[in-house]
Amino acid sequence: METFATPALVIDLAVVERNLARMAGYVKQHGLSLRPHTKTHKSLFMARRQLEHGGATGLTVAKAGEAEVMAQASPELYLAYPALDRPRLRKLADLARRGVNLRVGLDSAFAADAFAEAARAAGVTFGVLVDLDVGYHRTGVPTPHAALELARHVASRRGLRLDGLMLYPGHLMHAQDLDKELAAVQALAAETLALWKQSGLEARVVSGGSTPTAFVTHKLPAVTEIRPGTYIYNDMNTVDGKLCGLDDCAARVAVTVISNAVAGKVVLDGGSKTFTSDRNACRADAGFGHVVEYPEAKIVRLSEEHAEVDIAGCARAPQLGERLHVIPNHICPCVNLQEQVWLKRGPDDLVPLEIEARARLS
């Protein structure tokens, strides 16, 4: 029985455990390493469960603030983000000085020099993965030759240790011909690794997929390690991307119907400050999340604290005061908005869970 105030995020632990077991089983079966991206849950409890399932060699973070929190769960952290400004570098160097084996992904000589300077000043070493753009076109050097040039630069800098290559094949979420696009990613990685080898440079780690490609990583033989984040909870993006079913979504926002005064709609007590305004990445006509109890309902408009739901398609109208549950389009930023969530350990067993790395944006 849910007796807490709404809106509130409820995490079903049984579904989490199933999602974690599936990913751990996959990496063990294929001899891959797993570094779950903790930006999805931002919780030490969840990070520890990911490690306890096995197959994980450490954790991934995006920000120095997240690294400070997640260092309490693992001393093996990968910062998949070029956090090159001095205040953050000082925090990262502090962590390394306290025994964290910190590796960072970067795509410029500028970032490499900044990390090297901070490492030397603190008397530590940062591991480095060179970020190669394999098609998402967000970060990453553009070609295997550019990756070689940057790898040489990294290898020449005191304070840095060249560990390998990073890829982010996030664009494959929308692949028309997945096998063909995977082959293109593999070809880029293989060409890069061959160039490095000819130059006497070794890539001990090739860090690859996120949730959309996690379970096809065996088709990318160059990849040694994956960094999925969303898989722990899933969301409407992974459902509509045909990566999982609704039953695999562990996180639902409990809300209350607070108004039905305007004809044809009801209003829920959560808006963009609860769900974020993220649209569905796979279905342009979808609303701002899936109402579990009324699948025909569509959340058509959000303001900060209101969700307006078009109920024209519903056989029965949701009633004032009724409690509903919404699976958000994109769970990661939604979690970041919650100070605390409710962990559902059984039908009548809900306990509060703090989100320790919430709002750690720098």
Ligand X SMILES: Cc1ncc(COP(=O)(O)O)c(C=O)c1O
Contact residue for ligand X among 9, 34, 37, 223 (CB under 6 A)? 37
Q: How far is the CB of 269 from ligand X (least distance, A)?
A: 27
Spell out a b/e string for 151-162, using b for 16 or more CB atoms within 10 Å of the CB, else e: bbbbbebebbeb
The footprint of ligand X on residues 158-187 (CB under 6 A) is 168
Rounded Cα–Cα distance for residues 155 and 290 (Å): 49
Grouping H, G, I as helix, E, B as strand and the rest as coil, residue 15 is helix
Select from 74, 192, 217, 230 the one that contacts ligand X (CB under 6 A): 230
- Least separation in angstroms between CB 2 and ligand X: 27
> Is residue 42 at the binding interface for ligand X, with CB under 6 A as the rule?
no
In terms of CB distance, is 207 or 338 closer to ligand X? 207
C-alpha count within 13 angstroms, C-beta hemisphere, residue 194: 6
Distance CA 168, CA 17 (A): 26
Return the range that interacts with ligand X (CB under 6 A); candidates 85-93, 189-197, 210-218, 240-248. Answer: 210-218
Burial of 268 per CB tally in 10 Å (0-12, 13-18, 19+): buried
Q: Is 224 in the site for ligand X (CB under 6 A)?
A: no
Q: How many residues bind ligand X (CB under 6 A)?
A: 11
Instruction: Taking the CA atoms of 354, 355, 359 and 362 in sequence, report the sign of the dihedral they define.
Output: positive
- CA-wise closest residue to 274 among 340, 337, 354, 357: 337
Shortest CB 160 distance to ligand X, Å: 19
Q: Which of 153, 227, 325, 330 binds ligand X (CB under 6 A)?
A: 227
* The one segment of 88-96, 227-235, 269-277, 309-317 that binds ligand X by CB under 6 A: 227-235
Only one of the segments 15-23, 194-202, 205-213, 350-358 lies at the binding site for ligand X (rule: CB under 6 A); that segment is 205-213
Peptide bond into 36 cis (omega under 30): no
Minimal distance, residue 234 CB to ligand X, in Å: 10
The DSSP letter of residue 78 is: E
d(CA 136, CA 172): 8
Residue 112 or residue 266: which is nearer to ligand X going by CB?
112
Pick 139 or 260: Cβ nearer ligand X: 139
Pairing relationship of beta strands 160-167 and 126-132 according to DSSP bridges: parallel
Binding to ligand X, residues 65-104 (CB under 6 A): 80
Binding site for ligand X (CB under 6 A): 37, 40, 80, 168, 210-212, 227-230
